Amino acid sequence: MSQSTESTNETNPFTKPGYIIAAALVVALIAATIVIFLVIPDGSEEGTPQPAQTSTSAAAATPTAAAAGKSICGLPDTAATALGSAPETKWELVGTMAAPTDPKIGPGKVDAQGIRSCFAHSPAGALYAAVNLWALGSDPSKERAIADKLAAKGPGREAGMKAPQTQAPSTATKIQIAGFNVSYTADQAVVELAFKADNGALASVRTTLLWQDGDWKGVVADSGAPLEQPRQVRDLSGVIPWSGA
């Protein structure tokens, strides 16, 4: 291993086992994102994207495995396959993050635990589902319910439900959505979200969603951890700017 590679590994938070959180779904992503903001100093080089983990949960996110069907709460379907501009929407504070809401896009259901579900079978629905998933994940007390109700069926969901509860990161840093891209088919969507911290740092991560049982479900690795870890970015080029805070 070269000296430069060793130096990179020493400064990259994702090479340190303590920062790889094998917990339920989005809470792990939130914590890892905050680690980026706090550990990588301003002006440092952009973090290297980490490869997705091999996972039978990921393999399940295929057209043949996706459960077709209309929205479980009657939201309209659409033939659209792209989302080229930022939707005009209402924003609500969910945990510590602003999340979008629209009566025709979702969430169509908010249960007694505050879990927001039922999003339209459309690119906009996938986007809203991903952002609301992240917003819910800003509250560690909801991680078991998130795994139970919002994760795609598979070993990752089961692991997330059994994992010890994640402790909230010991930081006052808050992050908000800053932009997006959506890659979409009727069965699966990959939503890239850009985040901005209140210290000005930017990060990006992709969230894979599967249309299952009439709603969008988050896909995770067999361990219950995210398929992809966040990376720091220099600016919002390459994403569609969109924010509620």
Give the residue, 59 or 152, on which the prediction is more confident. Answer: 152
**Hey, where are the domains in the chain?**
3-40+50-241
pLDDT for position 34: 41
Q: Is the distance from CB of 73 to CB of 172 less than 8 angstroms?
A: no
pLDDT for position 165: 64
Give the residue, 134 or 38, on which the prediction is more confident. Answer: 134
pLDDT for position 169: 55
- Look up tokens 């805070």; give the residue: 245
Beta pairing class for 175-184 and 116-117: unpaired
| Alpha helices (runs of H) in 60-210, residue ranges in sequence order | 123-137, 143-150, 155-162
- Which of 7-21, 40-54, 139-153 shows the highest mean pLDDT? 139-153
- Measured CA to CA, the distance from residue 216 to residue 245 in angstroms comes to 24
| Closest by CA position to 22, among listed 46, 53, 48, 43 | 53
CA torsion, ordered 30, 232, 181, 72, to nearest 10 deg: -10
Per-residue model confidence as pLDDT tens digits over 21-73? 222 333 444 544 444 333 333 333 343 333 333 344 444 444 433 345 789 99
- Statement: residue 16 has pLDDT above 60: no
- Statement: residue 148 has pLDDT above 60: yes
- Which of 31-35, 220-224, 229-233 shows the highest mean pLDDT? 229-233
Beta pairing class for 215-218 and 90-94: unpaired
Give the residue, 18 or 202, on which the prediction is more confident. Answer: 202
Residues 69-88 have a mean pLDDT of 90
For 58, residues 6+ apart whose C-beta sits below 8 A from its C-beta are 52, 208, 219, 221, 227
pLDDT band at 172 (very low <50, low <70, confident <90, very high): low
Beta pairing class for 188-197 and 175-184: antiparallel
pLDDT for position 171: 56
Prediction pTM value: 0.75
| Alpha helices (runs of H) in 116-192, residue ranges in sequence order | 123-137, 143-150, 155-162
pLDDT for position 102: 97
pLDDT band at 159 (very low <50, low <70, confident <90, very high): confident
Residue 11 C-alpha from the chain's centroid: 24
- Measured CA to CA, the distance from residue 105 to residue 100 in angstroms comes to 9
- Measured CA to CA, the distance from residue 68 to residue 127 in angstroms comes to 19
pLDDT band at 164 (very low <50, low <70, confident <90, very high): low
